[in-house]
Structure 1
């Protein structure tokens, strides 16, 4: 029996030569991951992890790897300027580091912030464990694994961020990933390695923005490690162009008494997926997430959240809101596992969603598995429309219908931003949510 012809996306990724580092173990890992991707291909909707996110249209596209003009693409500073954020900054345009747009002068003592390419050039050995993990990890249908393989095979650039033990970085650190207009449809890939030492503290702002009209495919994989007692406040703003397909995977590992807080806004893109995984491996670790996804038009935004409690007295709270309009589709999966021996764990997950048009769709799937004793756990999900009684009340006070709908929807979404400590940034993000609402 003849083999089916490879999809154009697969062909275009294989036509591009792999980046050559001259580091034997890294080049071997890239070849292994490309071979694993070739063997598995793109998943279809029969695979549970991709049940609600079809890749057929993406699979028919071809992308050129790398942008020779990325170093000279004009990107206005206003593209990534944020109120209340004025500190160290690392900027990448179409997957290429831009020193002229970054702010790396006078970094505070104990903070290391470099492009990954520089670290690989100077001394790659400390990254060997992270960058040379086996291509096949567990089940080959693992959530997001196909794009992790693509990234592991192709990424030659990214972020290296370390905070030394005991260091508390005062100003927020900003990571900016820009998709700029190019002559062809591009694929670019970034790998980020972030580590906070024992007792360290950091506020991290991650932005994904673009003005690219030709379609782009971007993959971003981040490994985040929080050592004992470390604290990370992580804010993610994703507002890429409507022609962009953005695939991200973030793995967070928390040791004893470490605490990570994530606020996420997912607003842009044609096809956007974020696989967010957290492992609470130390006693007393805590992981909190707050997020909003708001697709409109024909957008498809998919958030996959997986939290695993593996130690004593760990805590996780997750509050997510979804709003879909027009013919858009949102997907949310929230999975919590309390492993054997993780006694005293406290886990809660809530996902509430609004449909603003008859053709919009949101698929939500909360999951809870408990294999330990003395555990507190709760999860829930809802999908519905705006409350008619609240609309009636506002209209009875003379507020037009469209304005009343916008007020209620904005209040529904803003609930996830209430505990964002940076007031100026909080107001800015709230304004972006309002701007995304239908007129």
Structure 2
């Protein structure tokens, strides 16, 4: 039976579709019943083994934000150099039209779930009617029951959208700690292409919980290039789930930076269901203080000659903790699949911790697959070389750490955006304290 964290969120029942879509009310009610019956996953649940929900279950959040439309937000928080295309801004889970910019572009539809539920609810049914039948997917259930809005981005078949679409998900200060829920839908038609930035920001000090569920569909021969910048307020908590399905010859290239939030969880599930579909993932998390980050990738090859190429880096300093779970499954009949996963991590203090779990499950013949994971420290020989060239210990460590993380964004073709990502990571790099300096070193 639900209690603790869930009780105030479920007290008013599921969000109603207002009679516009009976199938949606049914899906939301079903999710609510699952939550009330099964509650939160316990410590023995394998999916939450390294990210205990005990502390979160003791928190009490106010459901949603009735004043979200009036929250002040400095637009400089989400300014991105080199990105000047359509922009959708959501603050504490609510759409803010006056902060957004939605020019008309041939072949591109940008809107919100709330608007489409008014004008064309059936176009959302295959996304919003989905159910979540495992207790480990508790936040997906919450999202299904309580998310009332979110971005909808669609590209018509054969259309190549040149401007970068920018989705901003922001947390703004309020008089109480809030739990907000947002649903996102991205759909590319046959042969379409799109560049998309998912950008998380937040005002310092607020301790909200954000819950985002994104559903991505890439049609035959389509290509989606997506950059996720998670730079939420370091006092907040953020849970995200990204689900993607790729049809024949589709390409999904995803770059992810996990830098903000005090407690963060990102589940990424990708289904390669069409022949020759390709998924490329480059990511990095950079943690400090007592931050906790849990990233779980689950890639399933379900068709012939599909490919995934996954490279992630992790850096943990001070008393932070990083968790990375990378699972690849090659289903029966998915012959010719090529699956590659690499996860390397750096510990920058004796109190930091990183747990990494590469998993490879193969049920087909004629498969090429490899995975590997390491946890270590900076190369002392490389440090010595840089020190011998006149760099301080701070400069040498920062340079090596930045180079280690650049795999996540060094292939971005937009020069201004790539330089911005470089600056963001520099801000996240550790500063050596006097206690950690070697004898004879100076700051």
* Matching residue of 1:187: 179
Within-5 A mapping of 1:137-176: 140-142=134-136, 145-176=137-168
Q: Alignment partner of 2:297: what SS?
A: strand
Q: Could you tell me how far 1:214 is from its partner in structure 2?
A: 3.1
Matched, 1:223 2:220: no
Q: Could you tell me how far 1:15 is from its partner in structure 2?
A: 2.1
Matched, 1:317 2:314: no
Equivalent of residue 409 in structure 2, options 398, 417, 420: 417
- Cα distance in 2 for partners of 1:374, 1:67 equals 53
* Matching residue of 1:367: 359
Matched, 1:130 2:127: yes
Equivalent of residue 52 in structure 2, options 32, 54, 59: 54
Query: For residues 226-270 of structure 1, what are the alpha-carbon distances to aligned partners after superposition, in whole Å with 9 as ceiling and x for unaligned?
Result: 110000000000011122111111111000000010010000111
Matched, 1:91 2:89: yes
Equivalent residues of 1:316, 1:348 under 8 A apart? yes
Equivalent residues of 1:264, 1:290 under 8 A apart? yes
Q: Could you tell me how far 1:74 is from its partner in structure 2?
A: 1.3
Q: Could you tell me how far 1:203 is from its partner in structure 2?
A: 0.1
- Cα distance in 1 for partners of 2:361, 2:313 equals 22
Which deviates the most, 207-216 or 386-395? 207-216
Query: For residues 127-181 of structure 1, what are the alpha-carbon distances to aligned partners after superposition, in whole Å with 9 as ceiling and x for unaligned?
Result: 1222112342xxx244xx1100000000000011110000000100011000001
Within-5 A mapping of 1:173-252: 173-252=165-244
Q: Alignment partner of 1:8: what SS?
A: coil
* Matching residue of 1:299: 291
Equivalent residues of 1:179, 1:212 under 8 A apart? no
Unmatched segments (≥5 aa) in structure 1:
none
- Cα distance in 2 for partners of 1:72, 1:78 equals 17
* Matching residue of 1:14: 10
Q: Could you tell me how far 1:398 is from its partner in structure 2?
A: 1.9
* Matching residue of 2:68: 70
- Cα distance in 1 for partners of 2:14, 2:30 equals 11
Within-5 A mapping of 1:384-403: 384-403=376-395
- Quick one: structure 1 residues 384 and 135, their matched pair in 2 at CA, closer, same or farther if it must change by over 3 Å? closer
Q: Provide the TM-score with structure 2 as the length reference.
A: 0.95
Equivalent residues of 2:40, 2:135 under 8 A apart? no
Equivalent residues of 1:29, 1:135 under 8 A apart? no
Equivalent residues of 2:172, 2:206 under 8 A apart? no
Q: Could you tell me how far 1:25 is from its partner in structure 2?
A: 1.8
Equivalent residues of 1:182, 1:212 under 8 A apart? no
Unmatched segments (≥5 aa) in structure 2:
432-443
Equivalent of residue 264 in structure 2, options 272, 287, 290: 272
Equivalent residues of 1:274, 1:304 under 8 A apart? yes
* Matching residue of 2:330: 338
Q: Alignment partner of 2:101: what SS?
A: coil
- Cα distance in 1 for partners of 2:12, 2:309 equals 42
Q: Could you tell me how far 1:10 is from its partner in structure 2?
A: 1.4
Query: What is the Cα-based RMSD across aligned positions, in Å?
Result: 1.2
Q: Provide the TM-score with structure 1 as the length reference.
A: 0.96
Query: For residues 367-405 of structure 1, what are the alpha-carbon distances to aligned partners after superposition, in whole Å with 9 as ceiling and x for unaligned?
Result: 001111111101000000001111111112221111111
Matched, 1:115 2:104: no
Equivalent residues of 2:206, 2:233 under 8 A apart? no
Equivalent residues of 1:206, 1:236 under 8 A apart? yes
Query: How many residue pairs were aligned?
Result: 429
Q: Alignment partner of 2:157: what SS?
A: coil
Query: For residues 182-226 of structure 1, what are the alpha-carbon distances to aligned partners after superposition, in whole Å with 9 as ceiling and x for unaligned?
Result: 111101101111100000000000001101523111111011001
Equivalent residues of 1:49, 1:141 under 8 A apart? no
Q: Alignment partner of 1:62: what SS?
A: coil
* Matching residue of 1:42: 40
- Cα distance in 2 for partners of 1:80, 1:26 equals 32
- Cα distance in 2 for partners of 1:314, 1:169 equals 25
Q: Alignment partner of 1:395: what SS?
A: helix
Q: Alignment partner of 1:294: what SS?
A: strand
Q: Could you tell me how far 1:17 is from its partner in structure 2?
A: 4.0
Query: For residues 315-356 of structure 1, what are the alpha-carbon distances to aligned partners after superposition, in whole Å with 9 as ceiling and x for unaligned?
Result: 110000000001000000000011111111111000000000
Matched, 1:353 2:345: yes
- Cα distance in 2 for partners of 1:38, 1:352 equals 39
